[in-house]
């Protein structure tokens, strides 16, 4: 059976509101600060592949100097070492768990509304083995899936990706090369420059997500899934 491997943030869930809430609370922003940068946070959300990037983006936006934000963002990334990233991620994920405990699962899920692609995916009910492959933590993804009544065979989150160079490396080493696979992600750096054909995988750009500059539409990718479903 064909395997469908899905990114989460941007592809299935429109999660920028929740991410902005967490990072704003962590930095104790005032309402004035929140109002002043929220639109630009959404605009430049595509730069962030891992949670520590939210801190980098926030600091750039608070500086009020928006000249060449992408260059500043990637330059600042080089100043973070692995230990600092791990500490930040533990605190970030704990903050998410605290919100879920305090306000309930549904309130948190409502901060991460479904995308149009997810609606179509759920409606179609494709006969694929389904997996999530995301830099988000497994527990929150599982809660979101449960609240939205969507079953997958396995969730691979941030802990699963440790020790792998990237998502391509993970897919290459985790799934049998002979099995036919479809991978959908909105982050260009997880898609471009890899030998997807060599591992029997059709990699699709999700143009409706955050990180894709050359992505495809929901309609076109659904058409691809329809084709694969017919030839499963």
Tens digit of each residue's pLDDT (9 = 90 or more) over 62-86 = 998 999 999 999 999 999 999 999 9
0.75 surpassed by pTM: yes
Q: 130 pairs with which residues across the strands?
A: 4
Domain ranges of the chain: 3-14+113-230, 16-109
pLDDT (mean) for 8-35: 94
Q: Kindly give the residue spans of alpha helices, DSSP state H, lying in 50-110.
A: 52-62, 69-77, 82-103, 105-110
To which CATH superfamily is domain 3-14+113-230 assigned? HAD superfamily/HAD-like (3.40.50.1000)
Q: Tell me: the pLDDT tens digits for 83-142?
A: 999 999 999 989 988 988 999 999 999 999 999 999 999 999 999 999 999 988 899 899
Average pLDDT, the chain: 93
- Number of Cβ within 10 Å of residue 58's Cβ equals 19
For residue 153, give the DSSP letter: S
* Separation between Cα atoms, residue 217 and residue 182, nearest integer Å: 16
Cα Dmax for the chain: 55
pLDDT (mean) for 29-51: 92
Distances (CA, A) of 146 to 107, 143, 151, 155, 159: 14, 5, 7, 12, 20
* Separation between Cα atoms, residue 18 and residue 24, nearest integer Å: 10
Q: Tell me: the pLDDT tens digits for 148-191?
A: 999 999 999 989 999 999 999 999 999 987 889 999 999 888 88
Query: Which helix or strand (DSSP H or E) is residue 198 part of?
Result: none
Among 23, 25, 33, smallest CA distance to 64 is for: 33
pLDDT at 212: 65
């Amino acid at each position: 059976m064909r395997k469908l491997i899905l990114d989460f943030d941007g592809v299935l869930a429109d999660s920028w509101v929740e991410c902005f809430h967490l990072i704003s609370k962590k930095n104790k922003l005032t309402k004035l600060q929140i109002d002043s940068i929220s639109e630009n946070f959404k605009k430049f959300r595509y730069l962030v592949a891992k949670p520590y990037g939210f801190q980098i983006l926030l600091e750039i936006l608070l500086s009020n100097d928006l000249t060449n934000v992408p260059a500043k963002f990637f330059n600042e990334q080089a100043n973070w070492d692995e230990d600092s990233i791990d500490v930040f991620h533990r605190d970030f994920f704990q903050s998410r768990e605290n919100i879920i405990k305090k306000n309930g699962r549904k309130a948190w899920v409502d901060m991460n509304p479904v995308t149009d692609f997810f609606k179509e995916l759920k409606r179609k009910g494709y006969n694929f083995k389904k997996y999530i492959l995301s830099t988000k933590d497994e527990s929150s993804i599982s809660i979101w899936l449960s609240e939205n009544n969507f079953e997958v065979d396995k969730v691979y989150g941030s802990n699963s990706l440790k020790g792998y160079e990237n998502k391509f490396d993970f897919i290459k080493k985790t799934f049998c090369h002979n099995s036919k696979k479809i991978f959908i992600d909105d982050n260009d750096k997880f898609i471009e420059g890899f030998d997807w054909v060599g591992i029997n995988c059709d990699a699709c750009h999700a143009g409706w997500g955050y990180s894709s500059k050359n992505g495809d539409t929901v309609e076109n990718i659904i058409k691809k899934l329809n084709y694969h479903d017919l030839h499963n």
